[in-house]
Amino acid sequence: MKRFLIFAILSLGVILSVAPAAAQEPITIAASQFTGNFRKNLTFQVEAQSSANITQVELLMEFDGNPGNFRAAAKFDPGKQVRAVYDWNLEQKYLPPGVAGKFWWEIADSAGNKKSSDKKSFRVEDNRVKWQMLAESRFALYWSGGDAAFGKAIFERAVRAMDALQKDTGVTIEHQLQIFLYDKRADFLGALEPVVNDWVGGRAYTEHGITLINVSANNLSYGLVATPHELTHLIIHRMLGDIGRAGFPRWVDEGLAMYYEFVPPALEPEYETLLKRAIQNDTLLPLRTLSGNFATDARQASLSYAQSFSVIDFIYRRYGKDKMTQVLLEFKQGNGADAVFRKVLGADTEGLEAAWRQDVGAKPRVIPTRSSAAPTPFPTFGLSTDATSTPAPRAPTTIASAATPAPAPTSAPRASGNPISQLCGGAFGAIALGVLVPVLYRRRGAR
Ligand SMILES: [Zn+2]
């Protein structure tokens, strides 16, 4: 027994003395670095050596707040000592500013040795403009152009909006969201991917929890509403996920975003006037029509936003705030709109619409019979009346097919002239193995 113990101790001694030598792995990594040059490229470099020829160098990346990651072969001249480079071309594989994560390397040699490097951080920075920033746990606000008071006012409005949104709906924010307000239009357009239409006023990258908005430093009032509006979209879209978003009616999406622009909720006078007139003249749009894309016509688009707000406001008042939580959770499961509304509110889209119309003092809508209802009665509306009844889980290919936006808004100029002709461009992107698939959706734009 005693001899065995001594042997064991000796063995341990041998192992201990051998250990440092064993740590001398064949492959060693001398340097690993990241250089960003937004919006051209990101460069990842590594220097490594081995006792045998290095035959493979791969870059691996993971993105904060995004389950997708990325793997690609780096370029290098094979040898025992190599300098390998991976050039991420942002023109081809766009990433918005604010995207951050970790990168590391996997290296193999001809003797079968393998080595993974330590993970290092990277962040895509738009250094073409000078940023100011305010942040709390839920989101970070970056702005260019405006002074400290400009950013502070918007930040505080957004904080109040997020408090209200979370209190009402119970949604959580697990990963800090980022909002970038670009003062100059050229800087804003220069920050987006090359394919974006130039009428776009804001763009959201839901998978990364990032939104870019063009907010001029002399247009604080727009920044005050656009920021909480976009944050609401980001939070709701991230909560719903791909499956939930696919069947999510546009009017619920935009109605919620409008609802949290002001705390307490309020409809701006221009919208209020439009809505009142439509109620009086019996020209309200059918709620089902608002499930799909909103009109390209400026006035119809504005009315669509106003109605969306009004129906959300009605749901909160009539059914209680906790019902919205349930509605969102049902959509998250991939259920269709009518099924969701029936289950949670006890009425389908038309039933809900009838109750809402009564509440706001509108005449009951004459619902056409099936045969006469077939063509949409509103030719200015681009999209279907029934998009929500069959929510197919959205595959990347489906997203790609939607990448071209609905007809360009010829009748709705971006901003300047008409204060209520607003268009928002935005997009949510999905990143899978480095492929960013943008989806354009229409939103209110700069006024
Ligand atoms: Zn919106």
Ligand 1 geometric centre to CA of 231 (Å): 10
Confidence of residue 200 (pLDDT cuts 50, 70, 90): confident
Mean pLDDT, the chain, rounded, equals 81
DSSP string, 340-388: HHHHHHSS-HHHHHHHHHHHHTPPPP-PPPHHHHSS-S-TT--S-S-TT
Task: Check whether 13 has a pLDDT greater than 50.
Answer: no
Architecture label for domain 25-123: Sandwich (2.60)
Alpha carbon of 84 to ligand 1 centroid (Å)? 44
Q: How far is the CA of 443 from the centre of ligand 1 (A)?
A: 5
Residue spans in the chain of domains classed CATH 2.60.40.650? 25-123
Q: How many angstroms separate the alpha carbon of residue 202 from the centre of ligand 1?
A: 9
Least confident of 48-62, 142-156, 320-334, 413-427: 413-427
In the reported structure, the alpha carbon of residue 392 is separated from the centroid of ligand 1 by a whole-number distance in angstroms of: 22
pLDDT at 288 > cutoff 80: yes
Question: Residue 102: pLDDT above 90?
Answer: yes
Cα dihedral: 228, 233, 238, 244 (round 10): 150
What would the pLDDT profile of 258-275 be if each residue is shown by its tens digit? 999 999 999 999 999 999
CA distance linking residue 383 with residue 394, whole number of Å = 17
What pLDDT, in 10s, does the model give residues 23-38? 568 999 999 999 999 9
* Residue 440, φ and ψ in degrees, nearest 5: -85, 140
Rounded CA separation 412/61 (Å)? 41
Distance 233 CA to ligand 1 centre (A): 7
In the three-class reduction of DSSP (H, G, I as helix; E, B as strand; rest coil), residue 28 is classed as strand
Q: Is the pLDDT of residue 250 over 50?
A: yes
Q: What angle in degrees, to the nearest 10, is found between the helix axes of 337-345 and 298-319?
A: 30
Domain 132-368+376-443 grouped into CATH 2.40.50:
no
Residue 29 Cα to ligand 1 middle (Å): 48
Residue 153 in this model has a pLDDT that exceeds 90: yes
Q: Where in the chain do CATH 1.10.390 domains reside?
A: 132-368+376-443
Distance (Å, whole) CA 245 – CA 114:
42
pTM of the shown model = 0.77
217 Cα–ligand 1 center, Å:
21
Task: Compute, in angstroms, the gap from residue 255 CA to the centroid of ligand 1.
Answer: 8
CA of 370 to the centre of ligand 1 (A): 31
* β 66-73/28-37 pair status: unpaired
**CA 79 – ligand 1 centroid, Å:** 54
Q: How far is the CA of 58 from the centre of ligand 1 (A)?
A: 40
pLDDT at 380: 28
Do 303 and 285 touch, CB atoms closer than 8 A?
yes
Query: How high is the pLDDT of residue 370?
Result: 52
The residue that leads in pLDDT, 304 or 410, is: 304
Q: Is residue 353 scored above 80 in pLDDT?
A: yes
Report the percent of the chain where pLDDT is more than 70.
Answer: 77
Q: Residue 129 C-alpha to ligand 1 middle, in angstroms?
A: 26
Span 314-333, pLDDT tens digits: 999 999 999 999 999 999 99
Cα(114) to ligand 1 centroid in Å equals 49
Bridge partner list, 205 = 210
